[in-house]
Amino acid sequence: MTEIELLLISTALAVNIFLIAEYEGSNLRAIRPKWVLLISLIFFAGQMISMGCGYLISTIPFFRVNRTEAIRALCCVMAALIFFVIGGFMLFFTWRSKQPEERAREVLYRRIILEAALVAVMTFGAGIACGFLMVKPMTMMIVMACLTLASAVAGLFVGFSQGARFRKAGYGISGALFVAMGIEILVRYI
């Protein structure tokens, strides 16, 4: 997997974090530095743990020791299938997203944690796919960490100032990136 492919996968995941943070920012009446830090850390921890666990799943000896051409092709097909499923879910979610009703006085951490867990499931799948494609784990984690923190902070401030107006387009772009990565993996590696 090239650095460009890794950046595209990380960007697609970061768009999801941006959209969730944007939605949460549009719900707030004020932004406090403590809230920005806590929300960013929730997303950061979820992304790093799930990406690492997904990568570890892909290091099962069956996939690493017997690295024949057939196993390599199977891993590529499984990685592409994972990206197709995530992309399809995001494209479906494009039509289900809704605008916030009113601004809240406090951050609803339980909702943020649930939304972060949903993105973490997608990141877990992306971690498995990246492991199947033999991506170096440290490179993967560094790119994800930077994009996660930046997108969480940016999403909160954009949501607070602009509202959640980029949700539908953002989910569509994220889903399209995942589907494109699945197609690219099938074309390039098989």
Domain boundaries defined on the chain: 3-189
Chunked into runs of 10 residues, the chain (190 residues) has average pLDDT values of 82 91 84 89 93 88 70 87 93 73 66 89 91 85 92 92 83 92 87
Q: Which two tokens stand for residue 66?
A: 């017997």
| Nearest-angstrom CA–CA distance, 143 and 123 | 13
Q: What are the phi and psi torsion angles at 28 (to 5°)?
A: -90, 145
The pTM assigned to this predicted structure is 0.85
Looking at residue 101, its pLDDT comes to 58
| Nearest-angstrom CA–CA distance, 142 and 124 | 16
Q: Which two tokens stand for residue 108?
A: 């609803």
